[in-house]
Structure 1
Amino acid sequence: MNPAPRPSPLLGRGSWPEARRIAELLRRETVGGALLLVGTVLALLWANSPWSGGYAALRDTVVGPHALHLDLTLGQWAADGLLAVFFFVAGLELKREFVAGDLRDPRRALLPVMAAVGGMAVPALLYVAVNAGAGDGALRGWAIPTATDIAFALAVLAVISTHLPSALRTFLLTLAVVDDLLAITIIAFFYTDDLSVVPLLLALAPLAAFAVLVQRRVRSAWLLLPLAATTWALVHASGVHATVAGVLLGFTVPVVRSAAAGGPEAGPGLAEHFEHRWRPLSAGVAVPVFAFFSAGVTVGGLSGLVTSLQDRVALGIVVALVAGKALGILGATALVSRFTHAELDESLSWWDVLGLSLLGGIGFTVSLLIGELAFGAGSVRDEHVKVGVLAGSLLAALLATVVLRARNRTYRRLVKVEEVDADADGVPDVYQQRPVGEV
């Protein structure tokens, strides 16, 4: 009898094409993360300055046609409109990962998916535990600490100048992408109060037309943008948060060419084209502008900060982001290791998983969005949510910095090994020597 094959190591290297693609993508996201930090700092400075009234007036300026129920404030346009672009790109990336990326192999997909689920469930449970019996609708915010902000996390990595090896970078990105999918699912199912079925059904028509055109490789903005905008407007009118439209539109875009369009051998589908075109707008404009309009909380000095954190909602968010994310991601990874009998890659340690788990506690963009949906934009409790998200994300970033910086010498050595190409064929030797297919 042949012995059972030995399970592939957790967090082992994937394929070279995927590692190269991930590296290029993360470089672009790092720039977006820097802009996100700038937008956040500007909002906080303005909102806590003597001219804070000007910030509130700008955020609450109403723009748009009343007849179409699109007379929204600039803050709402940023949350409902610009973030739809962000989730469109997230939809493209998620589909790309599971259709043509390394994660099309269920064995490789298992780890980041389970880690994302653990990183969602444990923070939600800790938030509920802290707010049990608090009343005043505090439990509506249970989903606030469930999402990881990849742009902010990458900005932190850039600031601390650590060199994560490719396997950890891929794990972090995929975890965040699956996180986004879970978050938008939560928004659609748990934060839709008044559902209008007719507009939602009508949205299927432009969505289907958009899908037919992109499947036929039509890329004309004059045709696609009106259909996308109509889909967005109808989803918005239905009561479902309009960012859901962005994910649905992203899912319709083909990753590889169909047989009618030349077959997959003829080249990639439109997903790669749209990602190159829209990711800079998402990372460089949509998310930083949303951060600018959403992060401007008036703290009121140290006493105001203490007052905000005395609200169990804010305290629950901090505990969930820092402890919940770390326990959820680390625990899920350990469970996958236990039940698949796969050991961690020999070049890594569980300290690396802890560092990434803490980094996953940086929740910002989607956390602020869910906070607004749960408690109402501009409400007192929404202000406390912002303080909790900012404080929890900052604390998680500091703890992750301590762990990852302590391992930075090891990361430098691993990255140097990954860059060695003795035969100068463009592919580092380690990707030719090691089998692909790790969990």
Structure 2
Amino acid sequence: MPAPAPAPSKDRKVLGRLSLPERNFVAEALRTETVGGVLLLLAAIAALIWANSGLKESYESVRDFHLGPASLGLDLSIGHWAADGLLAVFFFVAGIELKRELVAGDLKDPRAAVLPVVAALCGMAVPALVYTLVSATGGGSLAGWAVPTATDIAFALAVLAVIGTSLPSALRAFLLTLAVVDDLFAILIIAVFFTDDLNFAALGGAVVSLAVFWLLLRKGIRGWYVYVPLALVIWGLMYNSGIHATIAGVAMGLMLRCTRREGEEHSPGERIEHLVRPLSAGLAVPLFALFSAGVAVSGGAIGEVFTRPETLGVVLGLVVGKAVGIFGGTWLTARFTRAELSEELAWPDVFAVSSLAGIGFTVSLLIGELAFEGDEVLTDEVKAAVLTGSLIAAVLAGTLLKIRNAKYRKLWEAEELDEDLDGIPDVYEQDNPEYHLRMADIYERKAAEHRRLAEVTAGASEENDGPA
């Protein structure tokens, strides 16, 4: 996600240093996502242990336990509540992120938006193509073409946290923006390709309720007690309309204002995202993983992942398709826009991040459930393929990033260096005359201190060398 490019095209940089406000926003967002990613990993591990232990029956009974008002069409299993209800919170945050990127972030500038949009599109098209070719060649079902198209930013950042890489902020921002654009197209895929028979009465009610939601926001009405009940009504109507209920979440997120007005420290969208993101990353997504990742795993089951065309297509789509698609889209964009890669990075760095985007856990699991709904055996096998492909992508990307970790650490330390202790990294003040005056004063004081210490040391040495 490069900063806005200078006018002369020959000087444009791919993955150059972010602006200071964008850097600070990305750092804040990624801290929450990283914690959520660690919780996501723990939830997935807990689900696998629970579903493959002597307590397997209890896992299935809890996941399949139904609750909710049947009269409202909401008598759902715990697993469905996690996929249709809790993930609506996740997509609500994704909607706010997308809105912010479009009106205040790097996607606002068409020149800066080209790279992540093209990279994300290629990173979805190539995995879909890989799955289709593998499945068609092996005589498998083509219904799962969309499964390997998704990227799980929380899981990817959890991998970064585990391997301890000091990834430069430009690469982290590129990964984050890829995931935002990826989420947008995943939402469109769910809405277009996985919508059941429409209930137009419920859909009309959802549209009217969304209009009321937008009108209240426009009028500046405040109070969670107004919006939370209305959001639940919108979600319930959207679920009963036949359109996947998570669409309600992203629709409401896109309606929030993400630009600041005079006197505002944060826009309403930023404030609400700050409040809801921990709920999404710390509760909604881990609970979804807990009730979706619990598939039977055995030596035979893992072997079948690489022999069945549908599951092999998912694995290759995530591991090969994502890396080739994103890297290829980035390289082609740079090539045809005559942009140059930032001198601080190399193309292997872009390939490593592209490989990391092959972790498609959360949304891939959701699309897998939708694609093979009614075929419980194939659904579980595809889930196992998602877990396997995500694990391979994580190990591959982690290895590639670890090789360059010493270089990344130097870049990160340079980005964080703040010798004048004014709270602003020095690299952002190099063109500020006041900064150079402060640094000159700091260096003069340090030099004076060194001279003083040298004089004290010399005096002490003369005393020791003098007559007894």
For this structure pair, what is the TM-score category when the shorter chain's length is used for normalisation?
over 0.9
Describe the SS at the equivalent of 2:248.
helix
Shift in Å at residue 423 of structure 1? 3.6
> Match for residue 400 of structure 2?
403
Shift in Å at residue 264 of structure 1? 4.3
TM-score (ref. length: structure 1): 0.94
Separation in 2, partners of 1:69, 1:310 = 40
Seq. identity, %: 56
Separation in 2, partners of 1:121, 1:83 = 24
> Match for residue 235 of structure 2?
232
TM alignment of 1:328-407, pairs within 5 A: 328-376=325-373, 379-407=376-404
The code of the aligned residue for 1:291 comes to A
The code of the aligned residue for 1:251 comes to L
TM alignment of 1:318-337, pairs within 5 A: 318-337=315-334
Equivalent of 2:256, from 238, 245, 253? 253
The answer to whether the 8 A contact 1:13-1:431 is kept is no
Name structure 2 gaps, 5 residues minimum: 1-6, 433-468
Q: Deviations over 1:73-98 (max 9, x none)?
A: 00000000000000000100111112
> Match for residue 309 of structure 1?
306
Equivalent of 2:191, from 185, 188, 194? 188
Q: Deviations over 1:31-63 (max 9, x none)?
A: 101110111011100111111011000000001
Describe the SS at the equivalent of 2:339.
coil
Please state if 1:88 is matched with 2:102.
Answer: no
The code of the aligned residue for 2:316 comes to V
TM-score (ref. length: structure 2): 0.88
The code of the aligned residue for 1:352 comes to D
The number of aligned residues is 426
Name structure 1 gaps, 5 residues minimum: 258-262
Shift in Å at residue 256 of structure 1? 2.1
Separation in 2, partners of 1:328, 1:206 = 39
Q: Deviations over 1:163-209 (max 9, x none)?
A: 00110111011111111111011000011131222211221111111
Shift in Å at residue 330 of structure 1? 0.2
Equivalent of 2:269, from 262, 268, 271? 271
Q: Deviations over 1:360-389 (max 9, x none)?
A: 000000000000001016710001111100
The answer to whether the 8 A contact 1:214-1:270 is kept is no
Shift in Å at residue 312 of structure 1? 1.0
The code of the aligned residue for 1:47 comes to A
TM alignment of 1:1-400, pairs within 5 A: 4-132=8-136, 134=138, 138-257=141-260, 263-299=261-297, 301-376=298-373, 379-400=376-397
Describe the SS at the equivalent of 2:60.
helix
Shift in Å at residue 135 of structure 1? 5.2
The answer to whether the 8 A contact 1:309-1:384 is kept is no
Shift in Å at residue 134 of structure 1? 4.9
The answer to whether the 8 A contact 1:217-1:269 is kept is no
The code of the aligned residue for 1:268 comes to H
C-alpha RMSD of the superposition: 1.6
Describe the SS at the equivalent of 1:224.
helix
